[in-house]
A and B are shown apart, each in its own frame.
Chain A
Amino acid sequence: MARIPTEFRAPAEVENHMIALLAVLHVVSSIPTLGSLAKEVGGARIEVESLGKGYQDPHFVEPKPSLMLVLNRADLLLHVGLELEIGWLPPLVLGSRNPKIQPGELGNLDCSRSIPVLDVPTTKLDRSMGDIHPQGNPHYWLPPANAKIIAREIAERLQQLDPDGRAEYEKNLAAFNKRVDMKTREWAPMTAKLKGVKVATYHKSWSYVSQWLGLQEVGYVEPKPGIPPDPQHLARLITVMKQEGAKLLMMENFYNKSVATLVAEKAGAKLLTLPTDVGATPEIKDWFSLVETLLKALSSSV
């Protein structure tokens, strides 16, 4: 990013517009939430595009060749890591013919780098345990503490790629952190209501949210990650939910509802199909509205 000599400087608002037009860094994210967090710290110095949509299962994005074109133009690729995207992202990155975003390059950021990872397997792994992630649970982007870590990682990387924007990235990051703190206080009454609430979930993808909110997970509709349930497992789950008094069944809105609907009904619980990504519904435009929508849905059900 070339610095514009002071004597040629246009008024600030025009200059901001020029920066947007010069389009600085093109950032591509595997899931929209990462792109949205990047936009918070990148501001007008970056433009953001996402490969997966917020209403898609991030494990199973179709690796359409058109996505290689998107990656071909990227200066920075943001991905969740922990093998969440292992089934579709690597061939797209290789096929993009973009040296900047290959693994190991500055333009390739695994956003899990500094995340305190949950559910790291502690025993010998094999596929009899279902479709497990050997490096731990990759569904980490919802809690505010993790959002701050991701934003910091992205800001650091943007500074390395675009040193001229350093001050702006730092300013934006500080503003983002401040807003997260403010929102966290604003959300406190909702989060307080959820502490200790017993829930069942569809996929084992809520560990970070449960840890943050103090939810107690009593069981899962999937007997093992990615493996469809059998009646024995569901009957057991229903019994456990009743015994434990779990009144909520949480599920991402991209899964099929049939089984979860029945389980919730039999267990006397409420099925909540919840957004987990920016763009899960058209109204969810950034991380803040994502988390707020989630908290409102949860807290209004207890």
Chain B
Amino acid sequence: MKLALLLLSVALPAAAQQVDAGIPDDLQKELEKAIRSDSGTPPQGEKAPSAPPAATSGSSGNAPQTLLRGAQSLNPDFSVILDGVAGYERRAPQFLSGDDPDLGAQGTSHALGFMVQEVELAFSAIVDPYFKGEVYLTIPNLSGLEVEEAFATTTSLPWNLQVKAGSFRSAFGRQNGQHLHLQDFTRRPLINAAFLGADGMRGPGAQVSWLAPLPFFLTLAGEAFSLRSAPADESQVLPLPVESFGADGSTRPTLAVEAKAFFPISETWSLTSGLSFASGRSPGLLLVDGTPTGAGRDSQLYGVDVYLKWKPANVSLGYESLAFQAEAIMRHLDAGDGVVGEWDGGGYAQIVAQFARRWFVGLRGDIVGVPSSSVLARTGRLGASLTFQASEFARLRAYLDAERASGTSVLLPQAQPEWAPAAFLQLEFSMGAHGAHPY
């Protein structure tokens, strides 16, 4: 037996070298075809089960290694995620989220070049029998280290309760809670920077959530954050949008409540849906002459989101899957400080289809400043992405979009009605042990 194994171990590499020299053309073609069909549309017919392939251990053959386990360590899981882009933008985008790639276009001049969109450092571990801890540091656009999130989650509270405390992303809507590497597109939706803040709605705070004891999944969450933001400055070359929240941050917490429900329609179809509400105080706008306007108005956000997914239970019949996601936000800015009250809003809808084992294509439409707004120029954007997932740990994405501002606002007195294109090639990879993500 041992001799046979020894011979085998010698024979295998030898055999490998023999065929490496060249595969007959017809065999090569046939194999390529089978690989393509394995990665894409399945062979006809055949009823069978469901999911993509995965791992087993590597290494050392069948020799039993009784109870020899990987080295134990009490260090937290540590990972680094990098997003690098090469891109072109015809002019500066109207709304730039903190983790959008910033090529540095000013006003209507174009930009072309490279950027490291984000470096994320993630640490997580079970702290003790009562808490799980997670810390995410981020360096967006090579511009300094920020704490994206750093929080503890309770693991042992009674009555289906869970508390999260520290600095974290709000559960408002769907995309706000997700880090960059969970996005299907290179840029975040417009509503992120327009209503929730360039970095999304995140900051020091606490959240209490409750899983309702119902036959279907429903959670209710209440949050309070101490957000601090400065008034938008009209005199800046790249004026930031008027923030919804963050005025009087040291005395007036921003409050939010969210309800999230999940409906397993069938084994392959499922629907996630959420309703969100947030209330705070807007820091308003600093006019060119230095006078503030609209500062300290109370503002409220009302959000609704849906996520509809189709994915077969396994991949025996093919790797296709489909996901539709949409969010809408309406904002009310109260009257005050000599400014009249108003409603404005926006939203996006996207569809992402996996059409082969490693390939995803996505389309997204965005709009903000509807039905009308004095602080948000009506802006629309159409985007498309094509993603190649080399492995679970690396992907390459081509992203194209075009944006136009058909309306005006105090921050954009001149409409920019012509479509301005932008194109990015994005490489994203993850190293180390990174925890799994929620659905």
A interface with B by C-beta (< 8 Å)? 53, 55-57, 59-66, 68-69, 72, 82, 86-91, 94-97, 99, 102-105, 114, 116-123, 125, 127, 129-139, 203-205, 207, 210-211, 216-219, 222, 224-232, 234-236, 238-240, 243-244, 253-259, 261-263, 266, 273, 280
Contacts and interface: CB of A to CB of B under 8 A. Distances in A.
B38 interface: yes
Contacts of B18: 239
A119 B57 contact: yes
Interface in B297-343: 311, 313-319
B18 to A, nearest CB: 7
Nearest to B28: A231
Nearest to B42: A256
Contact of B15 (A227, A231, A239): A239
Contacts of B68: 117, 120, 136
A275 to B, nearest CB: 10
B53 A255 contact: yes
Nearest to B261: A65
Interface string B1-28: 0001000100110011011100100011
Contacts of A90: 435-436
Interface of B: 4, 8, 11-12, 15-16, 18-20, 23, 27-28, 30-32, 34-35, 37-39, 42-43, 46, 48-70, 126, 129, 132, 153, 155-158, 160-162, 211, 213, 216-217, 260, 262, 264, 270, 272, 311, 313-319, 357-358, 391-393, 431, 435-439
A203 B56 contact: yes
A87 B49 contact: no
Contacts of B63: 118
Contacts of B30: 262, 266
14 contacts: A64-B439, A69-B211, A72-B213, A99-B156, A116-B67, A118-B63, A132-B59, A136-B68, A203-B56, A224-B58, A226-B54, A231-B28, A235-B23, A253-B49
Contacts of A65: 217, 260, 262, 272, 438-439
Contacts of B391: 127, 130-131, 226-227
A86 B37 CA distance: 29
Nearest to A123: B59
Given A60-B54, A118-B65, A55 B48 contact: yes
A253 B316 contact: yes
A132 B436 contact: no
Contacts of A117: 65-69
B126 A254 contact: no
A114 B42 CA distance: 40
Nearest to A103: B126
Contacts of B61: 119
Q: Which 9 A-B pairs have the closest CB atoms?
A: A59-B54, A55-B49, A131-B55, A119-B57, A99-B156, A60-B51, A254-B314, A65-B262, A57-B51
B66 to A, nearest CB: 4
A232 B32 CA distance: 10
A72 B158 CA distance: 11
A243 B11 contact: yes
B392 A116 contact: no
Contacts of B311: 62
